[in-house]
Structure 1
Amino acid sequence: MKKSLIALAVLAASGAAMAQSSVSLFGIIDAGVGYVDNATAANGNKYGVGTSGNQTSRIGFRGTEDLGGGLKAGFWLEGEVFADGGNPDGLNFKRRSTVGLEGNFGEVRLGRDLTTGYSKTSSYDLFSQTGIGQFSAWRNWGGVVATGDENGIRSNNMISYFTPNFGGVKAAVSYGFDEQATGKAGRYIGGNVSYDNGPLSVAVSYDRLDFVGGDRDAATLGASYNFGVAKLNGIVQQQKYSANAGGEAKFNNYMLGVSAPVGGAGEVKLQYARYDQKTFNGNADQLSLGYVHNLSKRTAVYGTVAYLKNKDGSALGLQSKGINTVAAANQKQTGVQVGIRHSF
């Protein structure tokens, strides 16, 4: 009898512990057909099936455990998948692989993650940083070699702190260790402060990435205001590359966009971007028009048209996964994508 009571007590305790924990599988599959003219240095065209035209295709696992007293432990493992041909490198968790603690003090997170110089201010891009319509400010402008994360979007070996919400005000800081015996290539430090209250959202971020031979500093300001019938978004950014041997290069990037709901299930988006490459006085202008129609809470179809004009020696290309583009100097590009996105 005593053994039965003990067994029942153990089962009850384990059941309570399991009830306080949760693990979930999640993901997005996004595939479409695209076409981009003048997509090669020889002015050739490219077309075919691509991936992540509206949102990045991914699969992941996340979970939390209630430790009591308002304290929670959590993990997040997320990897990219390519709907047009699988992932040739195999499934990995390079999008995010973190573990952390969260409570009244905020959250402490360790592992590979989005940098705090990118995560909030990039969210004002109406095209969600993917597909041919995206605002392409976050790229390896200086052509440097550090750790494979030269665009400043993610960092390895990072520890981050996120404050609680103080009446709409939040802040975050992160530090990525270079973990090298000599030198500091790959070291990252950054942070952001944001304010979200009603229709207004604004954020500012700053970060630095060290690489072999120098460093890169980036400052970004993003904001949006929802008027109800339409939402206005904007981003202003400057990236500056400094070489240890002297000399620097600057890149100023600007974005302004407007989105509006259509018929309760759709959204139309119009966005203009300018990439001012001060280092050689070249510049490029990009105009993107998109429409997303939600068939359900999980499934949507979309279409995007983008036009990019290079001037004064600029040679930027529209960014699209599955249909890679490289423009010749002073070349123009026009791209079209239509696809379907499903989340689970």
Structure 2
Amino acid sequence: MKKSLIALAVLAASGAAMAQSSVTLFGIVDTGVSYVNNAAGDVNKYGVHSSGNQTSRLGLRGTEDLGGGLKAGFWLEGEIFGDNGNASGLDFKRESTVRLSGNFGEVRLGRETTPTFRAGLKYDLFGATGIGQNMGYKAWSTVGGAYGADDNTIRANNMVSYSSPNMGGFTGNISYAFDEKQGANNVGRYIGGNVGYDNGPLSVTAAYGTLAGATNGDRDEYSVGAGYNFGVAKVVGLAQQIKYKPSVGSNAKFTNYLLGVSAPVGGVGEVKAQYAFYDQQGDAKAHQVSLGYVHNLSKRTALYGTVAYLKNQKGSQMSLNAKGVNNSVDTRTNLSGLTTGANQTGVQVGIRHAF
């Protein structure tokens, strides 16, 4: 009898401990068919794409309740490709962090998205995926690899981040990524932060970050975004400027603007339209117009369609990004001898399932 009581007590204690901890397997599989014209070589490209509406991913996350409002956790997340089954193998480059949170906010250590990218992502109606996405956060530098593996500042390795608690709608984040002496001039070191206000229908966020490079000096980035949900429609806007400050030669500046509107349809769908303008170094400019519709079949499954048009002007050579199908543009020389990327039109249809 005593042995039975002891066994029950052990099981009860074990159950209580397990109840304080949790580990979750999660992911998204997003696959469809894309068509893009005027790709490199003056060809039309079409085929099966990955991540047309949301980035396909597989991950593990977990938390442990330490008591007194203190929690420990981890997040491991890697991208998967529905079109070829991840030919290069799964890694955790989307996020690999350990974290500690409480009334003071949250501290994270590892690889994750930067505060500058997270600030702009809030106002991209296409969620930084597919042919409709805002492309302002690309690596604009013409010197490949001058800033390390993450020239676009979307993510950073070796980062320590602090996020404040929500204080009446106000939040803030500050992050520092160590260069760990990977090269000269602190190449790969990132420092950035954002402050935001999200309360009811209104959202406003400002961000700043700087990434140290080798021969190209620092890459400084500033952005401010805002959105307002009127119920019948949501309007968003974003302004972003990126400056390269080389130790030799003149600075380079890239200024990008975004304006978008989305509206619910019948309680199960969403229609969205977005315009982006990319004012590049010199006179190069590009205009992007994107239209999309998402139809939710359930809370986890949706069908989607996107149409986008990209117009390159005066030396711009941007291209629509249909992952797994196209990320290039045909270049042509005009009468004045200037090489410019061709205009592009793209179409994507697909299905997204979350688990």
TM (normalized to structure 2)? 0.94
The residue type paired with residue 172 of structure 2 is A
The residue type paired with residue 343 of structure 1 is A
The residue type paired with residue 97 of structure 1 is S
Deviation at 1:44, TM superposition (A): 1.3
Q: What is the distance in 1 between the residues matched to 2:84 and 2:101?
A: 38
Any conservation in 1 of the 2:104–2:165 contact (CA below 8 Å)?
yes
The residue type paired with residue 30 of structure 1 is D
TM (normalized to structure 1)? 0.97
- Match for residue 215 of structure 1? 218
- The answer to whether residue 132 in structure 2 is matched with residue 133 in structure 1 is yes
- Match for residue 22 of structure 1? 22
- Match for residue 142 of structure 1? 141
SS of residue paired to 2:117: coil
SS of residue paired to 1:11: helix
SS of residue paired to 1:189: strand
- The answer to whether residue 154 in structure 2 is matched with residue 153 in structure 1 is yes
- Match for residue 197 of structure 1? 199
Distance 1:340 1:231, change over 3 A: same
Stretches of structure 1 lacking an aligned partner (at least 5 in a row)? none
Q: What is the distance in 2 between the residues matched to 1:275 and 1:103?
A: 41
Distance 1:151 1:181, change over 3 A: closer
SS of residue paired to 2:136: coil
- Match for residue 319 of structure 1? 321
Percent sequence identity over matched residues? 64
- The answer to whether residue 11 in structure 2 is matched with residue 11 in structure 1 is yes
Stretches of structure 2 lacking an aligned partner (at least 5 in a row)? 332-339
The residue type paired with residue 157 of structure 2 is N
Q: What is the distance in 2 between the residues matched to 1:30 and 1:170?
A: 31
Select 2:348's aligned residue among 312, 337, 340.
337
- Match for residue 176 of structure 1? 177
Deviation at 1:151, TM superposition (A): 0.6
Any conservation in 1 of the 2:312–2:318 contact (CA below 8 Å)?
yes
Q: What is the distance in 1 between the residues matched to 2:190 and 2:3?
A: 56
- The answer to whether residue 231 in structure 2 is matched with residue 232 in structure 1 is no
Q: What is the distance in 2 between the residues matched to 1:142 and 1:181?
A: 19
- The answer to whether residue 309 in structure 2 is matched with residue 310 in structure 1 is no
- Match for residue 337 of structure 2? none
The residue type paired with residue 106 of structure 1 is G
The one-character-per-residue Cα deviations of 1:105-125 (angstroms, maximum 9, x if unpaired) are 000000000011111322210
Deviation at 1:11, TM superposition (A): 3.1
Query: What RMSD in Å do the two structures reach over aligned CA positions?
Result: 1.3
Q: What is the distance in 2 between the residues matched to 1:330 and 1:16?
A: 62
Q: What is the distance in 2 between the residues matched to 1:330 and 1:159?
A: 39
The one-character-per-residue Cα deviations of 1:58-83 (angstroms, maximum 9, x if unpaired) are 01000100000000001000000000
Select 2:291's aligned residue among 267, 273, 289.
289
Any conservation in 2 of the 1:120–1:203 contact (CA below 8 Å)?
yes
- Match for residue 33 of structure 1? 33
The one-character-per-residue Cα deviations of 1:154-179 (angstroms, maximum 9, x if unpaired) are 00000000000000000000000011
Q: What is the distance in 2 between the residues matched to 1:320 and 1:158?
A: 30
The one-character-per-residue Cα deviations of 1:83-114 (angstroms, maximum 9, x if unpaired) are 00011221110000100100000000000000
Moved over 6 A (4+): none
Any conservation in 1 of the 2:183–2:214 contact (CA below 8 Å)?
no
SS of residue paired to 1:119: helix
